[in-house]
Amino acid sequence: MNPKVKWSIAAVLILLLLGGLYMLEQILPANSIIFTVLQKGAIYSLIAVSLNLLNGFTGLFSLGQAGFMLIGAYTYAVLTIPPESRAAVYQYYDGGIIDFALPVPVAMILAGVAAGICAFLIGLPVLRMKGDYLAIATLGFAEIIRAIVQYDKLGPITNGSNLLRSFPVFHSTLFPFIVSGICIAVICLLINSSYGRAFKAIRDDEIAAEAMGINLFMHKEMALVTSAFFAGIGGALLAMFQMMVQARAFTSAMTYEILLIVVIGGIGSVTGSVIASFLFIASSEWWLRFLDEAQFIGGMQVPFLRPGFRMVVFSVIIMFVVLFYRKGIMGTKEFSIEGIYRFFTKGRSKAGKGAK
Amino acid sequence: MSENILHVENITMQFGGVVAVNNLTLDVGKGEIVALIGPNGAGKTTAFNVITGVYEPTNGRVDFQGQMMLQNHPTGKMAKAYKGENMGMYKHTMVKSPDAIAKLGIARTFQNIRLFSELTVLDNVLIAMHMRAKQNIFSATFRLNYKEEQRMRRAAMELLEIQNLQHLKDDIAGSLPYGIQRRLEIARALATEPKLLLLDEPAAGMNPQETQELTDFIVQIKDQYDLSIFMIEHHMDLVMQISDQIYVLDFGRLIAQGTPEEVSNDPRVIEAYLGVSEDAED
Ligand SMILES: Nc1ncnc2c1ncn2[C@@H]1O[C@H](COP(=O)(O)OP(=O)(O)OP(=O)(O)O)[C@@H](O)[C@H]1O
Ligand SMILES: [Mg+2]
């Protein structure tokens, strides 16, 4: 397909999507569950794709995504709370020691940079070693950073174990869609660049990659830092979505959730991660909610339905997906305009032959 | 001295108690085709792995283009366990990672083909051009390296055309027939712009006709790219036809060296290697 045609179609689809979201916001009440799902789904898409860059495209196994998100969320929150609100937020720490607020875009980029710097430092010792030490190191980092942030002595900056709030948040679903969309597009550009090819070479065969002159350590660092950078931005988005941050929430369970999304979507498929994020968030936040509430049919209470049952069903569904779709929804394939075009043209030419 | 592109001196590679390569000394001259032969388990691949930085040698040194590239001597536990010779002759330690050695200009193929099997044929070749491309992660991501990328793609397609693989450029490398994979591996090695090309059993699994084509091809690329070639090969007709120099390895030791005629008439070689294969053919 002509690239110009392809890009035009893509542009039209993006405009349609954004237009559709805008329309939705005019029609539905602002507290509709659909917006929760769309916003959180978009944010998780970015974080899942950032993890996929490591696990799926570079063959590095990291379990630190929640830690990088935490760094991003805190960096964003700490740097954007308006000075006039600080006295209330940092009430136990005399209003904290920071008395400025950065513009939102600057703070978001710094959120990514802070997470990237942490990743770089973790990578320095770990990525020189052969074997899967990265998983252990990043998991350890995520646990430790959660404790450090809550450390009382850091309270004037991090507010200790109290939550951070009053920072600027978004008011339209378009915001997380646009930010995540741009970030995912950049990741895709990277994956399809010469560096992305080098990452995939490392994933396929480290020894051969090294023999072709690819410096394993440097390229792994690049993948790790890039992944953390975007996880940091994802963390900032999540903070905005929740309208507050608290270190306690960024547990390893959060990392596993994201890992699960990547596996369900297909390790090595960007579109798979995105689709799986929305499905995952929709099921956990919306479709399966009714399982947590007692339901009555004709005056009879349906058995099993009580708080917590949702997670049981959810786990069973996940188990089935992992068992029967071992490669995830998409495998390593991508959902593309070209693919759809080919699908339809193939179908048509076959039909044409059949008619003659 | 500068006539030799590769100079291997007293290299010993000991794994635990196993001496895989024992005091190996050899030279590859500029523009020459040099063969390393020997029975299975003789230590040929291990010698390649030392030269390309996959293993650190236990003792000895390797020079490339007249410059010291690798040097080592037994230390720690190995100093006691060392079974080789010339201990104490080398005082320094100089190690290089495989990617640094590739960048110096040594490319290789692998005995058990190691392509990037999930990637396309074209990507396999492009990856080998990555290290010399003028770009960084930002310029590559945001396509500011557009011209460089175009140049790489053209050069990669040229390499594929030489091998007659251009029509397969979008095929997944791992799905190709064995013989084509071997040829692709050579194309990929050439894409690193090497001065010295190491081929580990390039004709393995090929029929006589394919082997003859490969023989001609090796001579052709040597001239076209101004290469020196160092190869491990079991197909004697290939080796005898094009080698300037042959080294024969047995149990990690060099047992003979010389021109094809000298080596094929050497009684030790006939006993250790050629004799065995003649027996096997009977
Ligand atoms: N990493 C290693 N650790 C321990 N022993 C090794 C290692 N690599 C090679 N060896 C041993 O070194 C010896 C030589 O192996 P090598 O692969 O170099 O032989 P070769 O001459 O290439 O044989 P072939 O013709 O079968 O390819 C073998 O006995 C092998 O078991
Ligand atoms: Mg071998």
Contact A198 B127 (CB under 8 A): yes
Flag whether pLDDT at A256 surpasses 50: yes
This prediction's pTM:
0.91
Cross-chain CB nearest to B127 (options A189, A201, A216): A201
Flag whether pLDDT at A351 surpasses 60: no
- Determine if ligand 1 sits within 6 Å of the CB of residue B41: yes
**Ligand with minimal distance to B47 CA:** 1
- Determine if ligand 1 sits within 6 Å of the CB of residue B235: no
Contact B142 A189 (CB under 8 A): yes
Token look-up 């509430």 returns A293
Cα torsion A95, A99, A101, A102: sign: negative
Token look-up 């916001």 returns A25
Q: Which residues pair with B15 in a beta bridge?
A: B18
Phi, psi of A203 (to 5 degrees): -60, -45
- Determine if ligand 1 sits within 6 Å of the CB of residue B20: yes
Please write the tens of the pLDDT for every residue from A89-132: 888 888 888 889 999 999 999 999 999 999 999 999 999 887 77
| Higher-scoring residue by pLDDT: B161, A335 | B161
B163: CB partners within 8 A, 6+ apart: B183, B184, B186, B187, B217
Distance from CA of A202 to the nearest CA of B (A): 9
Contact B102 A190 (CB under 8 A): no
Q: What is the mean pLDDT of chain A?
A: 88
Helix (H) or strand (E) holding A197: helix A194-204
Among A206-220, A296-310, B24-38, name the one with the lowest average pLDDT. Answer: A296-310
Distance from CA of A217 to the nearest CA of B (A): 10
Residue of B nearest to A186 (CA): B141
- Determine if ligand 1 sits within 6 Å of the CB of residue B111: yes
Q: How many A-B residue pairs are in contact by the CB < 8 A criterion?
A: 103
Please write the tens of the pLDDT for every residue from A155-196: 889 998 899 999 999 999 999 999 999 999 999 999 999 999
Q: Are B60 and B47 in contact (CB under 8 A)?
A: no
Flag whether pLDDT at A47 surpasses 60: yes
Interface confidence (ipTM) of the complex: 0.92
Residue B151: Cβ within 10 Å count: 14
Contact B114 A208 (CB under 8 A): yes
Flag whether pLDDT at A354 surpasses 70: no
Q: Which residues of B touch A195 (CB under 8 A)?
A: 130, 137, 140-141
Contact A205 B127 (CB under 8 A): no
Distance from CA of B148 to the nearest CA of A (A): 10
Q: Which atom of ligand 1 is nearest to the CA of B15?
A: 4
B256: CB partners within 8 A, 6+ apart: B246, B247, B248, B262, B263, B266, B268, B269
How far lies A217's CA from each of A110, A213, B73, B105, B124, in Å? 25, 12, 26, 20, 20
Please write the tens of the pLDDT for every residue from B108-152: 999 999 999 999 999 999 999 999 999 999 999 999 999 999 999
Domain boundaries along the sequence of chain A: 32-250
- Determine if ligand 1 sits within 6 Å of the CB of residue B44: yes
- Determine if ligand 1 sits within 6 Å of the CB of residue B254: no
Token look-up 């990856």 returns B127
Q: Which residues of B touch A201 (CB under 8 A)?
A: 116, 119, 127, 130
Q: Which atom of ligand 1 is nearest to the CA of B20?
A: 12
Contact A215 B137 (CB under 8 A): no
Helix (H) or strand (E) holding A188: helix A174-191
For ligand 1, atom 5: residue with the closest CA: B15
How far lies A262's CA from each of A44, A183, A241, A329, B82, in Å? 10, 17, 21, 10, 49
Banded pLDDT at B280 (limits 50, 70, 90): very low
Q: In chain B, what percentage of residues exceed pLDDT 70?
A: 96
For ligand 1, atom 22: residue with the closest CA: B45
Contact A212 B130 (CB under 8 A): yes
Q: Which atom of ligand 1 is nearest to the CA of B47?
A: 18
- Determine if ligand 1 sits within 6 Å of the CB of residue B228: no
DSSP B4-47: EEEEEEEEEEEETTEEEEEEEEEEEETT-EEEEE-STTSSHHHH
Flag whether pLDDT at A275 surpasses 80: yes
- Determine if ligand 1 sits within 6 Å of the CB of residue B45: yes
* Number of separate helices (H) and strands (E) present in chain A: 15, 4
Residue of B nearest to A222 (CA): B137
Candidates B236, B173, B233; CA nearest to B36 is B233
Report d(CA B231, CA B249) in Å as an integer: 13
What single letter denotes the amino acid at residue B47? A
Please give the pLDDT value at position A335: 78
Domain boundaries along the sequence of chain B: 1-105+195-282, 117-193
Banded pLDDT at B282 (limits 50, 70, 90): very low
How far lies B64's CA from each of B61, B93, B102, in Å? 10, 16, 12
Distance from CA of B268 to the nearest CA of A (A): 35
Report d(CA B36, CA B38) in Å as an integer: 7
- Tell me the average pLDDT across B190-203: 97
| CATH assignment of B1-105+195-282, among 3.90.25.10, 3.30.1540.10, 3.40.50.300, 3.40.630.30 | 3.40.50.300
Q: Which residues pair with B7 in a beta bridge?
A: B27, B63
How far lies B254's CA from each of A120, B108, B271, in Å? 47, 22, 14
Report d(CA B25, CA B15) in Å as an integer: 19
Contact A194 B188 (CB under 8 A): no
Flag whether pLDDT at A261 surpasses 50: yes
